[in-house]
């Protein structure tokens, strides 16, 4: 399995009935609706940044299938150690659009009080651990959390997400080795979207595949078509069930493509061939799943219109509400670090509060963002 690619959906929507996962029609349609919502959320995020209304955004266009496939394969009590390119997974697990946009805007209602990078969500109700910009850091964290859950007698598992570039980090090798040795109930999920910012996969590793790296650690390595939402669901469900039964970790390599820039600060036309983008556009995960649903009489133009319009309305309503929220109060910079602030910090906090109340505290209002 470390070299073969698990795929269920063909480009024309055909599939062997025996290969279709046990998902009823309602769940299949919900998968599609969430994929549409995820893409609409990303498109609006990039538009907001270009309009100067937010400072930074990380899109995931082209990777909706792997996000929603994973979401449906996991249990509600499982823990997510995410990359910064899986907003759809958070949405599918019940995170509200408003909550996520408060984080992107860095408002006073942001759970992180505006101190975390935009698109680096921290969602405790969804067991969605705070995203971290440094690559690979969440892999050993997921292993530790998974072992803690096992020691506590829980049936939950952890899943760590990372890009192909993350496989070059020390956290990747440390996490896989430690997780394998101790049979941690964890899934390692690599979003191989072919580029680590501007570094192509062929310059990232000499291995035949990323999945084959699992062999060195004595765990299964699986390659899956990341643009096939049903194949991702099947592969993730199998790996999660295996971990839950005490059989240890699995490394999944999902083959997909980052259709947009690495972030709103990136220009992929400077390093990525147009021909490569055009080639992958033909394998759009939404279109592919749409064709499958249409063949099963689960998709038509009316359903598409409903999905698109509802997504746009929900996002617009969330943006309107979030843009009315005030920024974080200045004194929040002193919160959440010390249970009892040291005396010198308390004095600085009190001085800041007085300065703010006097109207003498000013800040930039030109939309500047340091990236």
Active site residues: 258, 262, 271
Per DSSP, helices labelled H in the chain are: 25-50, 64-73, 87-92, 97-105, 138-151, 170-181, 214-217, 229-244, 274-281, 285-295, 301-322, 343-357
Answer yes or no: are the C-beta atoms of 282 and 10 closer than 8 Å: no
In angstroms, the CA 141 to CA 179 distance is 10
Q: What angle do CA 262, 266, 268 make, to 5 degrees?
A: 75
Answer yes or no: are the C-beta atoms of 300 and 294 closer than 8 Å: yes
- In angstroms, the first-to-last Cα distance of the chain is 40
Answer yes or no: are the C-beta atoms of 168 and 213 closer than 8 Å: no
Comparing CA positions, the residue from 9, 11, 29 lying closest to residue 19 is 9
- What is the rounded radius of gyration, in angstroms, for the C-alpha atoms of the chain? 21
- Cβ-proximal residues to 73 (8 Å cutoff; 6+ apart), any chain: 232, 233, 234, 236, 237, 240
In angstroms, the CA 119 to CA 157 distance is 24
Pairing state between β 186-192 and 250-255: parallel
In angstroms, the CA 190 to CA 32 distance is 22
Residue 301, Cβ neighbours under 10 Å: how many?
A: 8
């Amino acid at each position: 399995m470390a070299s073969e690619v698990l795929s269920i959906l063909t480009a024309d929507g055909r599939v062997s009935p025996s290969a279709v996962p046990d998902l009823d029609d309602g769940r299949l349609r919900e998968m599609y609706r969430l994929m549409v919502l995820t893409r609409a959320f990303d498109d609006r995020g990039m538009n907001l940044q270009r309009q100067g209304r937010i400072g930074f955004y990380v899109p995931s266009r082209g990777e909706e299938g792997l996000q929603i496939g994973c979401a449906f394969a996991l249990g509600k009590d499982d823990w997510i150690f995410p990359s910064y390119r899986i907003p759809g997974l958070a949405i599918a697990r019940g995170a509200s659009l408003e909550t996520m946009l408060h984080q992107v805007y860095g408002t006073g209602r942001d759970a992180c009080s505006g101190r975390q990078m935009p698109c680096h969500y921290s969602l405790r109700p969804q067991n969605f651990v705070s995203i971290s910009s440094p690559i690979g850091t969440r892999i050993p964290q997921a292993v530790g959390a998974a072992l803690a859950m096992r020691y506590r007698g829980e049936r939950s598992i952890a899943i760590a997400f990372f890009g192909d570039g993350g496989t070059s980090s020390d956290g990747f090798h440390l996490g896989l080795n430690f997780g394998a040795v101790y049979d941690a109930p964890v899934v390692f999920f690599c979003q191989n979207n072919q580029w680590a910012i501007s570094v192509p996969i062929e310059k990232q590793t000499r291995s035949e595949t990323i999945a084959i790296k699992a062999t060195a650690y004595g765990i299964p390595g699986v390659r899956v078509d990341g643009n096939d939402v049903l194949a991702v669901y099947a592969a993730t469900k199998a790996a999660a069930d295996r971990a839950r039964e005490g059989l240890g970790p699995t490394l999944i390599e999902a083959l997909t493509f980052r259709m947009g820039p690495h972030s709103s600060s990136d220009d992929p036309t400077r390093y990525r061939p147009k021909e490569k983008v055009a080639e992958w556009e033909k394998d759009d995960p939404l279109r592919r799943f749409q064709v499958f649903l249409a063949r099963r009489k689960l998709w038509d133009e009316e359903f598409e219109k409903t999905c698109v319009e509802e997504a746009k309305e929900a996002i617009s309503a969330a943006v309107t509400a979030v843009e009315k929220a005030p920024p974080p109060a200045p004194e929040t910079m002193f919160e959440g670090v010390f249970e009892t602030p040291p005396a010198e910090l308390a004095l600085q906090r009190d001085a800041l509060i007085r300065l703010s109340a006097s109207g003498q505290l000013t800040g930039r209002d030109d939309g500047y963002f340091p990236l």
